[in-house]
C-alpha cells in the first residue's frame, strides 16, 4: 500500500514537471523572433531596381508583426488581452477589429518601432547573417581566367667559341720570336646577350570542384616573342694579321708548333683557310629566338575553412583564413628555338662568309606544382616545373671563301731568316685555284633527334585589387640542355661534321603579370 502511494506521488511530480516543460516550450515557440525567422520566405531576393522579384509586381516581403494568433482554449485572460512585442497590452476591442480586418482580407499598412519589421527582405537578411567575405565568394570564383605577362629575360651565350686572333704583335728579332703587344681575339661570348622583352599568355577554364575542395582546370599557355642579338668586330693592328682559331693547322689555332712568348702560348702553324686567314677584319652577328606553347591540366587546392571575425561595431565578418595552398599540374609542351650566326671576314683581296642556322623543336611531357601563401589582399609563393623532351634538331651551313696568296704576311720563321711561308689548305670542298687566288664553297644540311631536359622555377608575389583582378611580379629562371646552338656548328671540315646538340642554355629575368577571372 505504501509503495502504491509512493508511486502515485512520483507520477504526480512527473506529470507536473512534464506540464511545466510543455508550457515553457509552448511559450518559447511563441517567441516573436523565432516566428519572424520561421516566417521568412525563400531566399529569392528582389531585384535592386524594382524592389521585387523578376517578372513579378509583388512588393518586397516584410516580416509579420509579432502578434501570435490567439488560441481557442477559452482562457478569458488570454482571449481578452495579448501582449505585443514591447509588452504593451492590447484590448479585446482592438484584437477583434484586427482579427475581423484580417479575416476580411484587407491589407494592413502597419508601422512598427522595430526597424527590421519595416524594411525589405534584403535588409532583414543582412541583420541576421554575417557579412560575407569568404574564400568561396572571391577566391578563384569564375569559369574562365586569363593571365597576361610582360617579360624581360636574359639568355646565356653558352661556352665561348674563339673565332679569330690578332697576331700583329708576333715577330722575330735576331732570330728570336717576340710578342710586342698582347694577342687580341674575338669570341661568340665576347659581349653576350642583353635583356630582351617578351610576352606570355595563359588562358584557362575551371572544370569544377571535387569532394576534397579542389578546383580542376585546363589551361593553354604561351611564352615567346623573345629575340636576342649580339655582334662584335675585330680589326687587326697590322695588315692581314687576323687568323681564325678554328683552323687547327693554322697560326690562329694550331695544336702543333706552339711556343711560349711573353707568357702567351703562340701557335706557329702554316696552313691557311682562304677568306678566313690572313685578313684585316673579322665580325659576327649572333641571334636566337624563343617561343613556347603548352597545355596543362591543373588540380588546385583551396584555402581551409573561413574564420568568423568580430568587428569593432559588434558585427561578425566571415573572412578568408590565411594559409598555404598547393596546386599540381601536368601536360604537354612545345619549345622552338632558332639560332643564326653570320660570320664575315675581309682582307686585301680576301673575303669569307660563314652562315650557319640551327633549329630546335622540342616536344615532350612536363609536370610541376605551385605552393602559395594566400591572404585576402596579398599572396606569395614558388613554382617548379620539369620536363622531358625529344629535340628534333636541324642544321644548315653556307660557306664561301676567297683568298690571295700574294697578300700573305711574313711568318715568324721568315722574320727569323728561315725561308718558310704560309700556304692554302688543299682539302677544302669545291676548291678552285687560279694562280695566286683560291676559292671554295660548301652548302649542306643535317638533321638529328636527341633527348632534352627542361627545368623551370619561379618566385612570385601577388596583390589582389578585387576578387577578379590581381597583379603579380615574379623572378623567373629556366634551363634547357640538349640544344643545337649555332656557334657549336662552326667547322672547316663541314662534310664530316655532325650536328653538335650538346648545348646548355640558361634564362633568367623578371616579369609583371595581370590576372582576370570571370
pLDDT digit string, tens, across residues 89-143: 444 444 444 454 445 444 455 444 544 444 454 444 444 444 444 566 567 778 8
Nearest to 261 by CA among 409, 412, 415: 412
Quote the cell numbers at residue 210. 571535387
CA distance 366 to 453: 10
Mean pLDDT of the chain, nearest integer = 76
What's the pLDDT score for residue 33? 33
Question: pLDDT at position 225, please?
Answer: 92
State how far the Cα of 264 lies from the Cα of 178, in Å rounded to an integer: 10
pLDDT score at 316: 79
314: left (phi over 0), alpha (psi -120 to 50) or beta: left
Q: What is the C-alpha to C-alpha distance for residues 461 and 52, in angstroms, rounded to an integer?
A: 44
pLDDT at 295: 96
Q: What is the pLDDT of residue 416?
A: 65
**Element at 340 (helix H, strand E):** strand 323-347
Dihedral (CA of 149, 150, 156, 162) sign:
positive
> Look-up: residue for cell 659576327?
284
**In which element (H, E) is residue 477 found?**
strand 469-483
Residue 369 burial (C-beta neighbours within 10 Å; 0-12, 13-18, 19+): middle
**Domain-located, residue 412:** yes
Give Cα 211 distance to the centre of its chain: 28
Is residue 278 in some structural domain?
Answer: yes
Residue 83 lies in a domain: no
Find all residues with CB under 8 Å of 55, minimum gap 6, and list them: none
Q: Residue 87: inside a domain, yes or no?
A: no
**389/501 Cα distance (integer angstroms):** 13
Phi/psi for 306 (5° steps) reads -65, 160
C-alpha cell at 294: 603548352
Task: Tell me if residue 159 falls in helix, strand or coil.
Answer: coil
- The DSSP bridge pattern shows strands 316-319 and 132-133 to be parallel
pLDDT of residue 339: 94
d(CA 387, CA 391): 12
Q: Assess if residue 390 is contained within a domain.
A: yes
- Give dist(CA 430, CA 440) in Å, integer: 5
Q: What is the pLDDT of residue 5?
A: 62
DSSP state for residue 116 in the 8-state scheme:
G
d(CA 286, CA 232): 9
Residue 286 has pLDDT above 70, yes or no: yes
**Placement of cell 644548315 in the chain:** 396
Residue 266 · residue 170 · CB < 8 Å: yes
To the nearest 10°, report the CA torsion of 32, 36, 38, 43.
Answer: -170
Q: Each residue of 237-257: b (16+ CB within 10 Å) or e?
A: eeebbbbbbbbebbbbbbeee
H helices of 370-419, where?
A: 412-415
Read off the pTM: 0.68
Is 124 contained in some domain? no
Is the pLDDT assigned to residue 473 strictly greater than 80?
Answer: yes
Give 394-450 pLDDT, tens digit per residue: 999 999 999 998 888 877 776 667 777 888 988 888 989 888 889 999 998 899 999
What is the rounded CA–CA span in Å between residue 206 and residue 275? Answer: 61
**Rounded distance, CA 129 to CA 288, Å?**
60
* 446 domain residue, yes or no: yes
If residue 95 lies in a helix (H) or strand (E), which one and from where to where? helix 92-103
User: Count H helices, E strands: the chain?
Assistant: 7, 25
**Domain membership of residue 492 as a residue range:** 135-306+317-517
Q: Is the pLDDT of residue 55 over 50?
A: no
Q: How many domains does the chain have?
A: 1
- The residues, any chain, with a CB within 8 Å of residue 199's CB and separated by 6 or more, are 148, 149, 150, 151, 222, 223, 224, 225
Report which secondary-structure segment, H or E, holds 300.
strand 281-301
Closest residue by Cα to residue 397 from 332, 344, 449, 341: 341
Interval 366-391 mean pLDDT: 92
- Cell for 428? 677544302
* Predicted pLDDT at 56: 46
- Tell me the C-alpha to C-alpha distance, in Å, between residue 457 and each of 200, 220, 383, 389: 16, 19, 5, 18
The x, y and z cell numbers of residue 446, run together, are: 643535317
The gap from C-alpha 194 to its chain's centroid, in whole angstroms, comes to 21
Q: Residue 12: its pLDDT value, please? A: 66
Task: Dump pLDDT digits (tens) for 213-264.
Answer: 788 999 999 999 999 998 888 888 888 888 888 888 888 776 555 566 555 5
Length of the chain measured in residues: 518
Phi and psi torsions of 260, nearest 5°: -100, 120
234 inside domain: yes
pLDDT band at 360 (very low <50, low <70, confident <90, very high): very high
Q: What is the mean pLDDT of residues 285-307?
A: 90
Three-state SS sequence of 209-235: ECCCCEEEEEEEEEEEEEEEEEEEEEE
Amino acid at each position: 500500500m505504501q509503495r502504491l502511494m509512493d508511486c502515485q506521488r512520483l507520477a504526480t511530480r512527473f506529470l507536473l514537471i512534464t506540464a511545466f516543460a510543455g508550457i515553457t516550450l509552448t511559450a518559447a515557440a511563441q517567441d516573436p523572433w523565432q516566428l519572424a525567422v520561421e516566417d521568412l520566405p525563400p531566399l529569392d531576393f528582389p531585384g535592386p531596381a524594382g524592389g521585387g522579384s523578376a517578372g513579378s509586381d509583388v512588393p518586397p516581403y516584410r516580416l509579420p508583426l509579432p502578434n501570435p494568433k490567439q488560441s481557442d482554449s477559452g482562457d478569458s485572460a488570454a482571449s481578452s488581452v495579448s501582449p505585443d512585442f514591447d509588452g504593451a497590452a492590447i484590448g479585446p476591442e482592438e484584437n477583434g477589429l484586427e482579427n475581423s480586418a484580417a479575416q476580411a482580407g484587407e491589407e494592413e499598412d502597419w508601422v512598427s518601432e522595430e526597424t527590421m519589421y519595416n524594411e525589405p527582405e534584403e535588409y532583414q537578411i543582412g541583420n541576421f547573417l554575417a557579412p560575407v567575405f569568404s574564400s568561396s565568394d572571391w577566391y578563384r570564383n569564375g569559369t574562365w581566367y586569363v593571365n597576361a605577362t610582360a617579360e624581360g629575360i636574359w639568355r646565356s651565350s653558352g661556352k665561348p667559341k674563339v673565332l679569330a686572333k690578332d697576331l700583329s704583335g708576333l715577330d722575330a728579332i735576331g732570330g728570336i720570336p717576340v710578342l710586342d703587344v698582347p694577342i687580341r681575339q674575338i669570341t661568340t661570348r665576347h659581349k653576350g646577350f642583353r635583356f630582351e622583352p617578351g610576352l606570355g599568355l595563359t588562358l584557362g577554364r575551371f572544370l569544377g570542384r571535387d569532394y576534397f575542395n579542389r578546383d580542376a582546370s585546363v589551361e593553354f599557355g604561351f611564352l615567346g616573342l623573345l629575340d636576342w642579338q649580339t655582334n662584335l668586330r675585330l680589326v687587326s693592328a697590322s695588315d692581314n694579321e687576323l687568323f681564325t682559331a678554328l683552323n687547327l693547322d693554322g697560326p690562329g689555332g694550331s695544336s702543333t708548333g706552339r711556343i711560349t712568348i711573353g707568357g702567351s702560348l703562340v701557335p706557329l702553324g702554316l696552313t691557311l683557310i682562304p677568306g678566313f686567314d690572313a685578313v684585316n677584319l673579322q665580325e659576327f652577328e649572333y641571334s636566337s629566338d624563343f617561343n613556347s606553347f603548352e597545355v596543362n591540366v591543373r588540380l588546385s587546392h583551396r584555402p581551409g575553412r573561413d574564420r568568423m571575425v568580430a568587428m569593432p561595431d559588434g558585427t561578425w565578418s566571415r573572412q578568408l583564413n590565411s594559409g598555404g595552398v598547393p596546386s599540381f599540374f601536368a601536360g604537354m609542351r612545345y619549345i622552338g628555338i632558332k639560332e643564326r650566326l653570320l660570320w664575315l671576314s675581309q682582307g686585301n683581296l680576301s673575303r669569307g662568309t660563314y652562315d650557319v642556322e640551327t633549329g630546335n623543336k622540342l616536344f615532350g611531357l612536363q609536370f610541376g606544382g605551385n605552393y602559395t601563401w594566400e591572404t585576402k589582399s596579398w599572396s606569395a609563393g614558388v613554382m617548379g616545373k620539369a620536363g622531358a623532351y625529344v629535340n628534333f634538331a636541324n642544321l644548315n651551313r653556307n660557306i664561301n671563301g676567297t683568298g690571295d696568296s700574294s697578300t700573305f704576311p711574313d711568318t715568324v720563321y721568315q722574320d727569323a731568316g728561315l725561308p718558310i711561308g704560309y700556304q692554302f689548305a688543299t682539302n677544302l670542298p669545291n676548291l678552285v685555284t687560279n694562280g695566286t687566288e683560291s676559292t671554295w664553297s660548301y652548302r649542306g644540311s643535317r638533321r638529328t633527334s636527341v633527348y632534352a631536359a627542361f627545368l623551370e622555377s619561379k618566385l612570385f608575389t601577388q596583390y589582389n585589387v578585387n576578387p577578379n583582378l590581381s597583379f603579380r611580379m615574379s623572378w623567373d629562371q629556366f634551363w634547357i640542355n640538349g640544344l643545337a646552338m649555332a656557334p657549336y656548328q662552326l667547322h672547316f671540315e663541314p662534310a664530316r661534321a655532325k650536328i653538335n646538340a650538346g648545348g646548355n642554355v640558361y634564362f633568367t629575368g623578371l616579369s609583371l603579370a595581370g590576372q582576370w577571372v570571370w
